[in-house]
Amino acid sequence: MDILSKRIIMTVMSLILVGGTLEAVRRRSLRERYALLWLLSGLAVLMSAAFPSVPDFIARHLGITFIEGASYLFAFFLIMVIFHISIAISHLRATIEAQARRIALLGAEVERLRGERGKSKS
């Protein structure tokens, strides 16, 4: 596969990623704050396809090969996704715990009112 074909594939893949992310946000399947990482990733791939000399230039100045640099970026991306998901899970857990406490208090209040209602009928 020649360089032009690879650049075309990268461009199409990045446009699909960016377009899919925007569509998911539009349909409210993905929240804006979670979409930012995907949009930045898609735009980074698009810029690499449009300007292939930039990643090579950066890799040369860091003293690594392009493949090593791509591997590091991919690993960094995965770590960022995992970190982002961990934050979301922590937030959801706190929300669930708060809702569970609220439900428990409401259940106790219902039981108290049932008890008062039962006493008033007797």
Q: Per residue in 59-96, pLDDT tens? A: 888 898 878 887 888 888 889 888 888 988 999 999 99
Report the distance separating Cα 24 and Cα 31, nearest Å.
Answer: 8
Give how far Cα 84 sits from Cα of 13, 16, 31, 35, 64, Å.
23, 22, 13, 11, 28
Report the distance separating Cα 82 and Cα 88, nearest Å.
Answer: 10
Q: pLDDT confidence of 105, banded at 50, 70, 90?
A: very high
Give the pLDDT score at 106.
97
Query: Is the overall model pTM greater than 0.85, yes or no?
Result: no
Give the pLDDT score at 88.
85
